[in-house]
Structure 1
Amino acid sequence: MNTILITGGTGLIGSALTKKLNDKGYRVHILTRSPKENNEFRWDIKEGYIDKDAFANVRYIIHLAGAGIADERWTDERKQELVDSRVKTANLLFHKVQEYQVSIKKFISASGIGYYGAVTSDKIFAENDAPGSDFISETCVQWENAARQFEHINIPVTILRTGVVLTKNGGALPKMNTPLFLAALGNGKQYMPWIHIDDLCELYIKAIEDEKFTGAYNAVAPEHQTNESFTKLLGKVIDKWVLPINAPSFILKLVLGEMACILLEGSRISAEKTSEFYNFKFPDLRTALNAIYND
């Protein structure tokens, strides 16, 4: 079986994807700053270094690396880190693939639905729509452009613009499922495009196994949910009280600053193009949440 090189392989998505790839018989190499396992190899962006052995027999690269968008308040320094952790890492991979003359079949990169901008509108955004103009959309544009460099050396590229990833042990759900109660955010009318982590992992595997699955795709489930409807359904599934009063926008803005936009704004994202290639295992939120909490 082919060897897959993954950046961000120890993170939420990378860990789940690595397990699925191993179960299917793929060999996985992981780039990390502090290797601990036999399949982990050192890289350092500041040094411009990647262990050459990481590329041994590699035929696909999956680029998941990137500092957490919502992990810290967006200072100027943090914003630069969010960009560099995605763009400079892709640039380094691009240069090392050429330097080491690595013959890969495809470069597969994460991106975000933030590409379309933090807006709430009646529009359903599809892959051919123009990007937004805020910080996150501009970050996604730079991220995708860095990935598309590989097309210049005749390596196909697949980009997955990912929504809120649902899994029990990390990501958004544990943050929403607070100890005492649940609450919608702001007016609750903003949409929350989401995807079950199993479907997301299968899309990455699809990108490996289907040579026609190239270009940009929205990695979101086909069902649309607002923040309010999402929160109410989550409350029903886990049998927890949902506050009748939403968390006020001004408090979120006060606490989170500019970052509050990713919680308070959101439009519907089309899964139509993706669904032409892939049948979602969890196309609706109730099924996804029941699988996470009750199976």
Structure 2
Amino acid sequence: MRILITGATGLIGTELVALLLQNGVEVHYLTTSKKKIIKEDKYHGFFWNPAQGIIDENSLLGVDVIIHLAGASIAKRWTSAYKQEIIESRIASSNTLYKALKENPNQVKQIISASGTAIYPDSATALYDELSIANQDNFLSNVVVKWEESINKFKQLDIKVCKLRTGIVLSKNGGALQEMLKPIQFGLGAAFGNGQQITSWIHIHDLAAMYFFAAKNQWEGIYNAVSPSPISNENLTKALAKQLHKALFLPNIPRFVMRLMLGEMHELLFTNKNISAQKALDNGFQFQFPTIEKALGNIIA
């Protein structure tokens, strides 16, 4: 099997590439930096510039599956200009891939795209599966809607489309978890708001494994890429403190404080979504780190 990856040098992409190479899968990857192009036997980089619609068509040679992870990070302050970049980076990259596939002979059978759980509305009572009505009128939800629409059109090329709606990714190499750990390490940890908002998360090893599993089994449609054990913000904060052997003594942090510090991006800390992983389980996927205790035990050694 040969897989083409966009976003291969990011947090998730790096983990996924390592997993694929360990399993004998040939990897082609697209990069916007010519300095990051490596040419090895089973690992081959190609240049692209989605903003200008430029792509090296040779990247498609012999490729069976595309895994599409590219997109500007949402973990930066959302200025008006950066919000536009978040949207355009996802749409432009999808459009560039679509045009290349449409105009060049290829054997691509499936595209698996990253997507987000932001599409589900905040709720203190709902349990969201992939059939849930998914519409929430805020910035991130609108990003996901446009993102998924840009991927759906690959069906017109008779290519299977799979979208993994991903929760908070826990990793020792960066991302949200490292930011959560910093105040706790300095004895300044506290839950946000009332602490009852539900966090749907996934260990980065399980996320990479789910992408590989989706490719091997030709998954089609939407799958929630979250662990089967969502957790409240308060209990997550306690679990982090316990793993670090730190005490929690500060009161919960009010929402307005984080709004002042982070602007609109503070919404990421107060999202409240209980999301089901049952569809992935029913289709044969097994989590290596299904509980927060196992995940943190692996990440925080």
Report the Cα offset of residue 46 of structure 1. Answer: 2.5
The structure 1 residue matched to 2:215, chosen from 189, 204, 208, is 208
The structure 2 residue matched to 1:66, chosen from 67, 71, 75, is 71
The residue correspondences of 1:65-104 to structure 2 (distance < 5 A) are 65-70=70-75, 72-104=76-108
Write the deviation string for residues 205-240 of structure 1: whole angstroms up to 9, x where unpaired. Answer: 0111002x2110000001120111001011111212
Contact 2:53 2:92 in 1 (8 A): no
Report the Cα offset of residue 99 of structure 1. Answer: 1.1
Rounded to whole Å, the distance in 1 between the matches of 2:176 and 2:51 is 30
Write the deviation string for residues 98-134 of structure 1: whole angstroms up to 9, x where unpaired. Answer: 11122201000000111113x2321011111122221
- Verify: 1:116 aligned to 2:120, yes or no: yes
- Which residue in 2 is equivalent to 1:159? 163
Aligned residue for 2:113, secondary structure, equals strand
Partner amino acid, structure 1, of 2:258 = L
Report the Cα offset of residue 80 of structure 1. Answer: 0.9
Aligned residue for 1:61, secondary structure, equals strand
The residue correspondences of 1:131-170 to structure 2 (distance < 5 A) are 131=134, 132-170=136-174
The structure 1 residue matched to 2:260, chosen from 254, 259, 262, is 254
Rounded to whole Å, the distance in 2 between the matches of 1:136 and 1:219 is 17
- Which residue in 2 is equivalent to 1:10? 9
Aligned residue for 1:183, secondary structure, equals coil
- Verify: 1:127 aligned to 2:130, yes or no: yes
The residue correspondences of 1:253-272 to structure 2 (distance < 5 A) are 253-272=259-278
Rounded to whole Å, the distance in 2 between the matches of 1:128 and 1:242 is 39
The structure 2 residue matched to 1:172, chosen from 176, 180, 188, is 176
Rounded to whole Å, the distance in 2 between the matches of 1:45 and 1:3 is 22
TM-score w.r.t. the length of structure 2 is 0.93
Rounded to whole Å, the distance in 2 between the matches of 1:255 and 1:170 is 21
Rounded to whole Å, the distance in 2 between the matches of 1:183 and 1:29 is 43
Partner amino acid, structure 2, of 1:194 = W
Aligned residue for 2:51, secondary structure, equals coil
Rounded to whole Å, the distance in 1 between the matches of 2:59 and 2:32 is 13
How many pairs does the alignment contain?
290
Contact 2:51 2:89 in 1 (8 A): no
Partner amino acid, structure 2, of 1:120 = S
- Which residue in 2 is equivalent to 1:50? 55
The structure 2 residue matched to 1:198, chosen from 192, 199, 205, is 205
The structure 1 residue matched to 2:190, chosen from 176, 179, 183, is 183
Rounded to whole Å, the distance in 2 between the matches of 1:46 and 1:17 is 25
Aligned residue for 2:164, secondary structure, equals strand
Q: Detail structure 1 runs of 4+ shifted over 6 Å in the superposition.
A: none
Partner amino acid, structure 1, of 2:50 = I
Unpaired runs of at least 5, structure 1: none
